Structure 1
């Protein structure tokens, strides 16, 4: 397992995080074998903001883009075998849409969501495309990828305020012919799967492992190493 650290907003605004993630991916491809890993069997996984980043990284790996950070990932020539994007925020630029969809949203949650856009994007327009902040919007354009997009697993609770993003992303991926396994967990909140004592969380992890077994069958390994980049 490679656990990737990246620069955080608001000190480091978009596209700093995805720049770091693209560089980290290139590092993993180059160095995985040193730690007993196989770069031909990479799985991307992230939740919430991390789900946004792994989906954005998938864009950089499947669409040939002009951004230098995207080229860093693209030039590896290695696409992941699968993506697990849990309870993600997949469109940062218009976070207010979630409040408009649900006027009864609590003020606390609504304010926290509004902070996402301000902290990540800032007041001034970014100097590069928003596609890597809004991978959902990019995928909804239904442009054919230059390399196949990997299969996606999309778990989310039905009481998660970010639920609409997962629904839209699932539809966009299906429209592109991408294998997608979307799971809705009734009555569960944001990141519920982190509370592994909950029955719904255990079901979610069982579904996750089943998805991975379908797309990245397990192999025996003589040793296990870890690294942080």
Structure 2
């Protein structure tokens, strides 16, 4: 493991999803304790997307934005909101030069699949329909997410293709949880890795799926046809149970004729990007921004 990251492991709280409310409180407190990011040069606005029910979003607008990124938070579909994602949205807006829109999608277990995906699809439709108001090109809308948010980014890309919905120009899947079956080597063997492990995945998937069988929109790795999807940037962490399904998905996209940039980050673990003092985390964050900037400038 990267020595800068390894030094933090004894300080990290263990992920415990047995009590979602308690974990949400802890997660929010951790986010609030972080230093406030520099919002110089950004306009920030909270909006509500009309849907059933309405979906709260937060819009970060840099000067002369080239396009938009719908940024979807992680947290196993169980935790996370507009405030906890503020620390990721601000640097993404600065680094990508794009309008970044974070989504307060409904959380499980109170709202299992497809609630979160329905919310994200409603936001995608709204961004496309309000492109002029947002000051963006409707042909330059990307979706991006971390962990469960990466799942939603992949799923909304599939749904938009299948339903001939709003065009998505690019998808970013960062350490995404894409497969409910837990049969890859990393999913079976990483049982004690920081923040995310086999048991955490099982709990999150159980909350998200409820009693429903998994479909391709819930677990994109189940999709049989990956052709016609947006170009992708896929990143995986070495010590992450999600690692192998992310790599497998990238290979399947390539075999389906979809352009993919794949980066497997050695020495990292799931969510270690949050340890911003580490050199590898700085490089990961810079690359995410640069990838989006290039995609939206194309």
TM-score above 0.5: yes
The correspondence for 1:164, drawn from 230, 244, 248, is: 244
Distance change in 2, residues 1:182/1:17 (3 Å): same
Q: What stretches of structure 2 of length at least 5 have no aligned partner?
A: 1-99
The correspondence for 1:10, drawn from 109, 112, 128, is: 109
Following TM superposition, by how much is the alpha carbon of 1:97 offset from its aligned partner in structure 2, in angstroms? 5.3
Please list the CA deviations of residues 4-52 of structure 1 after superposition, one character each: whole Å capped at 9, or x if unmatched: 1111100001111111111111111111321222221111110000000
The correspondence for 1:31, drawn from 130, 144, 155, is: 130
- Hey, what's the Cα distance between the residues in 1 that align with 2:145 and 2:273? 12
Following TM superposition, by how much is the alpha carbon of 1:99 offset from its aligned partner in structure 2, in angstroms? 7.2
Distance change in 2, residues 1:193/1:144 (3 Å): closer
TM-score (norm 1): 0.77
Corresponding residue number in structure 2 for 1:226: none
Corresponding residue number in structure 1 for 2:221: 136
- Hey, what's the Cα distance between the residues in 2 that align with 1:20 and 1:192? 27
Q: What stretches of structure 1 of length at least 5 have no aligned partner?
A: 65-73, 219-229
What's the C-alpha RMSD, in Å, of the aligned pairs?
2.3
- Structure with the bigger percentage of helix: 1
Corresponding residue number in structure 1 for 2:182: 95
* Pairing 1:151–2:237 present: no
TM-score (norm 2): 0.61
The 5 A counterparts of 1:1-229 are 1-64=100-163, 74-75=164-165, 78-92=166-180, 94-95=181-182, 101-102=188-189, 105-106=191-192, 109-122=197-210, 124-125=211-212, 130-138=215-223, 141=224, 143=225, 145=227, 148-217=228-297
Secondary structure of 2:236's match? Answer: strand
Q: How many residues align?
A: 197
Following TM superposition, by how much is the alpha carbon of 1:110 offset from its aligned partner in structure 2, in angstroms? 2.9
Q: Which of structure 1's runs of 4+ aligned residues deviate more than 6 A?
A: none
Secondary structure of 2:267's match? Answer: coil
1:89·1:162 contact (CA, 8 Å) conserved in 2? Answer: yes
- Hey, what's the Cα distance between the residues in 2 that align with 1:83 and 1:200? 22
- Hey, what's the Cα distance between the residues in 2 that align with 1:99 and 1:162? 7
Mean CA deviation greater in 168-177 or 204-213: 204-213
- Hey, what's the Cα distance between the residues in 1 that align with 2:106 and 2:187? 30
2:231·2:259 contact (CA, 8 Å) conserved in 1? Answer: yes
Please list the CA deviations of residues 54-102 of structure 1 after superposition, one character each: whole Å capped at 9, or x if unmatched: 10010012224xxxxxxxxx34xx312211110010013x236567631
Distance change in 2, residues 1:21/1:174 (3 Å): same
1:193·1:205 contact (CA, 8 Å) conserved in 2? Answer: yes
- Hey, what's the Cα distance between the residues in 2 that align with 1:176 and 1:88? 19
1:174·1:180 contact (CA, 8 Å) conserved in 2? Answer: yes
User: Higher relative contact order by CA 8 Å / sep ≥ 6: 1 or 2?
Assistant: 1
